[in-house]
Structure 1
């Protein structure tokens, strides 16, 4: 069977209905060694999708957030037939707190590139999907980024403050920047909201492969321009890896250039 976007959408909706929505009213969480949270839903979603994807697409392994880094490295290094990349609950802190900003994020990586992506927001029942070279979709309908102008003051920015070096924040809020700022706390949804035109600028200080694999493809297929960096001020990195990446993106290439010009002074003051 060849993966299709409609099949992935149905799979994520079925999984959310079984493993996430019944636990919305309360779930126990535990801290992992890196300090992040994990719930029974994270583990159940990963187990269910591992089993279902192995049945539907045999021979293609799954790399999930809730597995050891050693196992993740092994799977990513040996992905001759492709590899599924899964964040079972992106935005676990939101999920635990009852904040409606979390998602299942699933991507297919082939030959070092993400070729398919699907992100389900189970609360809003919105499923964003994309296939490389085909386009991006919301519930099967094409979507495109939107920007009213090329001026930052007319743009809504999605910015994750938590992972930015604190010393750069004064420069980020200097005059001449974005019109206003938001933060969802779920990387996959950040990218999808950029794709849908709900925000025009994006800045994030640290996201992992399972956080961004599907979402970045969806945003780029919708018309966004995006860059990932291993450290601030370094050359952008296109290779997929397990290390944390800094992300800068905008609704279109021209707006990204303007955003980068505004952000460049921040790099000089960043600690990394």
Structure 2
């Protein structure tokens, strides 16, 4: 069977209906070894989606957030051929607290690059999908970024301040070169909302592969401008790695240039 965006959207909706939405509100969250949260819904969603992908696309391995680091490293070795990357519940702390901003993220990597991505917001029943070179869509309708003007002062920024390097944290809090700032708490949805024109500037200091594999593809295919950096050196980073990456993006290349200048990040889109 050939992987298609509509098929992936159906699998994500089935997973949400089975493993995520029935348990929303009141579920207990616990800390993992890296300090992040996990619930039984995360684990159930990964099991459900892994079984569905193995049934429909046998022979393609899966790298999931809820695997051990050793298992993830082993799976990553398949990225030059074909590999599913899954975040079964992106925004677990939101989910556990009852805040309606979480998602399921699924990407297909071939030749070391994401080629297909699907992200479902189960609360709003919004499914964002993209295929390499074919654009991005939301529930079947094409999407693209939106910018009210060429000025950062007119732009809404989505910025996760917690994981930023100290220099960039000081810069963003002192310069205030944008109109206003938000943080959604689901990296996958943040990439999708940039792609759909719901804000114009993006900054996040520590994204993992399963956070951005599908979302970055959707944003790129919609027409946004973005790059990932190694946090310590702020050098451009290969897309496929298990190490956290700093993300900077904007609705278009002109705004990205102004955004990186404001943040004193002299980088170009990769």
The reply to whether TM is greater than 0.5 is: yes
Change (3 A) 1:266 1:237: closer
Number of residue pairs aligned between Structure 1 and Structure 2? 267
Q: Is the 8 A contact 1:116 1:132 kept in 2?
A: yes
Q: How does 1:77-226 map to 2 (within 5 A)?
A: 77-166=77-166, 168-175=168-175, 177-226=177-226
The residue that corresponds to 2:24 in the other structure is 24
Q: Is the 8 A contact 1:156 1:180 kept in 2?
A: yes
After TM superposition, give the deviation of residue 192 of structure 1 in Å: 0.4
Separation in structure 2 between the aligned mates of residue 9 and residue 164 of structure 1, nearest angstrom: 32
Q: Is the 8 A contact 2:61 2:78 kept in 1?
A: no
Q: Is the 8 A contact 2:80 2:112 kept in 1?
A: no
Change (3 A) 1:149 1:90: same
SS in 2 for 1:22: helix
Q: Is the 8 A contact 1:208 1:243 kept in 2?
A: yes
The gaps in structure 1 that reach 5 residues or longer are 268-272
Q: Is the 8 A contact 1:187 1:211 kept in 2?
A: yes
Q: Is the 8 A contact 1:106 1:117 kept in 2?
A: yes
The residue that corresponds to 2:53 in the other structure is 53
Separation in structure 2 between the aligned mates of residue 265 and residue 76 of structure 1, nearest angstrom: 29
Separation in structure 2 between the aligned mates of residue 89 and residue 136 of structure 1, nearest angstrom: 21
Note the alpha carbon deviations across 1:108-158, whole angstroms, 9 max, x for none: 000000000001000111000000100000001000001111110010000
After TM superposition, give the deviation of residue 78 of structure 1 in Å: 2.8
Runs of 4+ in structure 1 displaced over 4 angstroms?
A: none
SS in 1 for 2:2: coil
Note the alpha carbon deviations across 1:204-261, whole angstroms, 9 max, x for none: 0101000000000001111101110112553211341000000000001111111111
Separation in structure 2 between the aligned mates of residue 199 and residue 244 of structure 1, nearest angstrom: 23
The residue that corresponds to 2:72 in the other structure is 72
The residue that corresponds to 2:244 in the other structure is 244
**Larger displacement relative to structure 2 (181-190 or 224-233):** 224-233
SS in 1 for 2:54: helix
Separation in structure 1 between the aligned mates of residue 243 and residue 233 of structure 2, nearest angstrom: 17
SS in 2 for 1:12: helix
Separation in structure 2 between the aligned mates of residue 219 and residue 232 of structure 1, nearest angstrom: 25
The gaps in structure 2 that reach 5 residues or longer are none
Separation in structure 1 between the aligned mates of residue 177 and residue 11 of structure 2, nearest angstrom: 41
Separation in structure 2 between the aligned mates of residue 259 and residue 147 of structure 1, nearest angstrom: 13
TM-score (norm 2): 0.95
Note the alpha carbon deviations across 1:46-100, whole angstroms, 9 max, x for none: 0111111011001001100000111111111134540000000000000000000
Separation in structure 1 between the aligned mates of residue 145 and residue 224 of structure 2, nearest angstrom: 6
**Larger displacement relative to structure 2 (211-220 or 164-173):** 164-173
